[in-house]
Amino acid sequence: MKVTLFFVFVSFLAAAQVGNRAALENLTPNAPLPEKILSTRSAVIYDPSFTAKEINEIHAGLIRAGVDAVVYFETDRVFAGADVSSAFSQYFTNREINCLVLFSKANNAYHLKITTFNGKPTFVEAGQGAWTASDAYLKEPLRVLYSTAVGSYKKENLLISERPELRLSVTVLTARRTEAFATDLKVDRLAVQKFGDERDGELEEIMKLYPFKYSLVDASVPEPELRKQGMFYILRFVHSRGPVAKELLGYEVREAETALVSVTYPNGAEQLKTIPAETPVYKFYARQIEFNNVFLGTKWDADVTWQQALRNFIVGFKRELRIE
């Protein structure tokens, strides 16, 4: 049986926002409320800027409207990178998540959007419609959701948890995880996906530091096709707050840490850099296309810009192999 999936996204849209949410940028407002919003499960994705009080208020409002929100995740956790989004997409499918919403906060107002999930790691199609409501006070969009939902559909979600389920575990790395570099890359070609925008010029320049074979490829090319073209590995990254990035990649994270120490190579020489825990960072790694084995490098080399993080990964690899 085909299952139509929906999500509940709670997102704080601001200049400091992290994570990849490009898939949600083209939502068309003023669409009808999804028909199964009151009869199926929901997943909540919220920005880390939201307070516990706001999350509890959101959950209470969703309960009142009849929305069964069974999981809550931070936005920068779900959209930290291509591999991460694919894992969360599969997780939602496995959990039979069936009902959704997007909450953002910008320009001193809360904006509520409700839309459907396309069953893909992109989450939505370009230009997809979304039901919308907004106000300066959080309770008002929730009130409008309640009045619209109960006035349009029969409330069928009867057993809803009174507390939001936060920080449930989602497995991102499904195969072997190695804190080392893939020495096979000395002979195997690496696929490097282009951004598809003005960043590609910088990407091309930085990749000139890479000592082995690689190809810059369009992000739209499927991995099986890359493998047919002779590429055995693909370069990936996560972009999220430091502790979230480490957790997603299987590193040990201590809750009390207020800062993380990263190895960086700003001028080719190794340095230690202390980065506040809440600062978004980039961390690159290589993954085998065929077997999904992940090679993270020998040191935590995340950095605050993708350019320096990529240089760290390349220079660290060269130093490990004693390549000048």
Residue 156: is it exposed, middle or buried by C-beta count within 10 angstroms (0-12/13-18/19+)?
exposed
Residue 211 corresponds to which tokens in the numbers above? 């000592």
- Angle CA(135)–CA(139)–CA(142) in degrees, nearest 5? 90
Q: How large is the average pLDDT for residues 193-220?
A: 96
- Contact yes or no for 102/27 (Cβ under 8 A): yes
pLDDT at 22: 61
Cα 56-62-66 angle, rounded to 5 deg: 145
Q: What is the dihedral of CA 311, 316, 321, 322, to 10 degrees?
A: 90
User: Over 80: is that where the pLDDT of 316 sits?
Assistant: yes
Q: What is the pLDDT of residues 116-172, one digit of tens each?
A: 887 778 888 888 888 899 999 999 999 999 999 999 899 998 889 999 999 898 999
Q: How confident is the model at residue 12 (pLDDT cuts 50, 70, 90)?
A: very low
Q: Quick one: how far is CA 118 from the chain centroid?
A: 16
Q: Are 316 and 305 in contact (CB under 8 A)?
A: no
Q: Yes or no: say if 50 and 74 are a contact pair by the CB < 8 Å rule.
A: no
| pTM reported for the whole predicted model | 0.89
CA dihedral sign of residues 310, 312, 317, 318: positive
Q: Residue 100 above 80 pLDDT?
A: no
Q: What is the mean pLDDT of residues 11-24?
A: 42
Number of H helices, E strands in the chain: 8, 16
> What digits encode the pLDDT tens for the residues 216-227?
999 999 999 999
Integer Cα distance of 262 and 302 in angstroms: 6
Q: Provide the mean pLDDT of the chain.
A: 89
What SS3 class is residue 207? helix
